[in-house]
Amino acid sequence: MLSFESMIAWRFLKESRSQTILILLGIIIGVSVQIFLSSLISGLQQNLIEQTVGDSPHILLKAQENSPKSILQKGNQSLIIPVIAAAKKDAYILSYQPILKKLDTYSDLKVVSPLVDGSGFITKAEVSRPVVVKGVFLERADGIYKINQRINTGKAVLGGTGVLIGRSLAEDLKIETGSIIEVRTSGGNSGTYAVNGIFDFENTAINSSWIFMDIYRSQALFELNGAVSRIEMQIEQVFQSESISQKIKNDFPDFLIETWQTNNRQLLSALQSQSASSYMIQFFVLLAVTLGIASVLAIAAVQKSREIGILKAMGTRTNSASRIFLIQGAVLGLSGSILGSLVGVGLIKLFQIASQSGGALSFSIRVEFRTAITLIVISTIASIGAALFPARKAASLVPIEVIRNG
């Protein structure tokens, strides 16, 4: 049922059509610019983050620095040298299986992959190059590194003595699939392996140094006695890393947990200041639009003072008279911002089509439903706020003034 105030408000809006359209246009432009801007920036940021952390672990579980001591205490002479060498870089997780078993039960972890990380030299025909050996369970590591997709020649298989090497390394040392290579560790161990496949990570540093190896073989090579360097994890929502890592920390208080944010502080603060400036722009757009609505509605209130005076003479209460203008503000704000959101979505579609044909856009922009709803709510509240001034004017209007002065 339509209240008396809404009916009058609606009539006033319909009657002063040009003012109504003017205000609506203002809101539509403001909101669509806000939608466009915020979606573009969040699309850019999402894309940047995905590129940065998409194929690297989001959360790491590492041993505390003191754990090598316990290895030393075992008194196993053959272990000491490589472990001390390794300990300069990192400590090892001695018994990772129970941890793995527990982590596998976490529903918010997409991938859990233990890793042996060691350095050495690869030698072929008297030429040697430094390499980083990545000892993995291929099926698990594939979830993070997408190895299968990145194999150029050969097969992504790590059974037996099989290894996978990078494209640059292969070109450099003229290695092909099926070639036999020798890997020598800084600790003096060595092993010979068959190259099963050559991968391309589109990253020269990785392509020229990484070697994927079966985790058990790498443990043997580095004489780790079943230990691993760390456990790498990926999650669905990259920004939930802090809360998930906290959960892991609670379950494994003896270990170090790192998130992708730890290693990407600079990127994050850059993104943050970008967001801040985008909010700033949005705030001023909102302010400009609100002031515009306020001034147009204030003029409308003056123009309608005769009508308001008559309504009051006939018994319209003060609050009721104010509400007529607040309702106008709400109607304008709500409909304008809904239309503005639609226009904003349209703008983004256009932008995507335009830049796709130019080939410039390598990422997708999505309008977040939540962003649109937030903007609609804020704009509606701002419009009601803008209507406060004419509403107060209507409230303070004395009917005899109007009747006396015509």
Partner 1 sequence: MDNILVSLDSVNKVYGDEVKTQVLFDVSLKIPQGQFLALIGPSGSGKSTLLNILGALDRPSSGTILINQQNLGQLNENQLADFRNKFLGFVFQFHYLLPEFTSIENVLLPYWIGKGKPNRQIFNEAQRLIERVGLANQINKRINLLSGGQQQRVAIARALLNRPQLILADEPTGALDTKSGDQVLDLMQEINGENNTTFIVVTHDRNVALRAERIIELIDGRICKDFFPQEMGEKKSIEILESHACAWDDQSQK
Of 259-267, 288-296, 318-326, 363-371: span binding partner 1 (CB under 8 A)? 318-326
Nearer to partner 1, 23 or 181 (CB): 23
Nearer to partner 1, 262 or 319 (CB): 319
Applying CB under 8 A, which of residues 194, 313, 353, 373 lies at the interface with partner 1? 313
Applying CB under 8 A, which of residues 98, 159, 253, 315 lies at the interface with partner 1? 315
Of 52-60, 62-70, 233-241, 302-310: span binding partner 1 (CB under 8 A)? 302-310
Q: What amino acid occupies position 366?
A: R
Nearer to partner 1, 127 or 403 (CB): 403
Name the minimum Å distance from CB 11 to partner 1: 5
Of 85-93, 175-183, 225-233, 396-404: span binding partner 1 (CB under 8 A)? 396-404
* 310 forms part of the interface with partner 1 (CB under 8 A): yes
* 2 forms part of the interface with partner 1 (CB under 8 A): yes
| Backbone conformation region of residue 190, classed left if phi is above 0, alpha if psi is from -120 to 50, else beta | beta
Nearer to partner 1, 12 or 193 (CB): 12
Applying CB under 8 A, which of residues 297, 311, 338, 384 lies at the interface with partner 1? 311
> Which token pair is 72?
């030393």
* 301 forms part of the interface with partner 1 (CB under 8 A): no
Residues in a beta bridge with 120: 131, 185
* 400 forms part of the interface with partner 1 (CB under 8 A): yes
Nearer to partner 1, 287 or 302 (CB): 302
Name the minimum Å distance from CB 314 to partner 1: 5
- Binding-site size for partner 1 (CB under 8 A) equals 27
Of 48-56, 315-323, 347-355, 363-371: span binding partner 1 (CB under 8 A)? 315-323
Distances in Å between the alpha carbon of 278 and those of 108, 135, 154, 218, 282? 31, 44, 47, 48, 6
* 299 forms part of the interface with partner 1 (CB under 8 A): no
Of 40-48, 82-90, 306-314, 348-356: span binding partner 1 (CB under 8 A)? 306-314
Binders of partner 1 among 15-74, rule CB under 8 A? 15
Applying CB under 8 A, which of residues 307, 371, 381, 388 lies at the interface with partner 1? 307
Spatial CB neighbours of 37, under 8 Å, sequence gap ≥ 6: 278, 281, 282
Q: Residue 181 belongs to what H/E stretch?
A: strand 180-185
Name the minimum Å distance from CB 399 to partner 1: 6
> Which token pair is 369?
């439903």
Closest CA to 46 of 348, 247, 274: 274
Of 101-109, 211-219, 286-294, 313-321: span binding partner 1 (CB under 8 A)? 313-321
> Which token pair is 85?
């060498």
Q: What amino acid occupies position 170?
A: A
110 in Cβ contact with 235 (< 8 Å): yes
Q: What is the 3-state secondary structure (H, E, C) of 187-228?
A: CCCEEEEEEEEEECCCCHHHHCCEEEEEHHHHHHHCCCCCCE
Name the minimum Å distance from CB 18 to partner 1: 15
Of 162-170, 183-191, 312-320, 335-343: span binding partner 1 (CB under 8 A)? 312-320
Task: Please provide the DSSP assignment of 50-110 as one string.
Answer: HHHHTTS-SEEEEE-TTHHHHHHHTT-HHHHHHHHHHHHH---BS--HHHHHHHTT-TTEE
Alpha helices, DSSP H only, in 116-214? 138-145, 147-150, 167-173, 204-207
Nearer to partner 1, 77 or 405 (CB): 405
* 360 forms part of the interface with partner 1 (CB under 8 A): no
Total number of residues shown for the chain = 406
Name the minimum Å distance from CB 325 to partner 1: 15
Taking the C-alpha atoms of residue 38 and residue 46, their distance in angstroms, rounded to an integer, is 12
Q: How buried is residue 242: exposed, middle or buried, by Cβ count under 10 Å (0-12/13-18/19+)? A: exposed
Applying CB under 8 A, which of residues 52, 56, 264, 320 lies at the interface with partner 1? 320
Taking the C-alpha atoms of residue 230 and residue 114, their distance in angstroms, rounded to an integer, is 6
> Which token pair is 115?
């890793």
* 303 forms part of the interface with partner 1 (CB under 8 A): no
Spatial CB neighbours of 60, under 8 Å, sequence gap ≥ 6: 230, 231, 232, 233, 256, 257, 258, 259
Q: Which residue ranges make up the site for partner 1 (CB under 8 A)?
A: 1-4, 7, 11-12, 14-15, 306-307, 310-320, 399-400, 403-404, 406
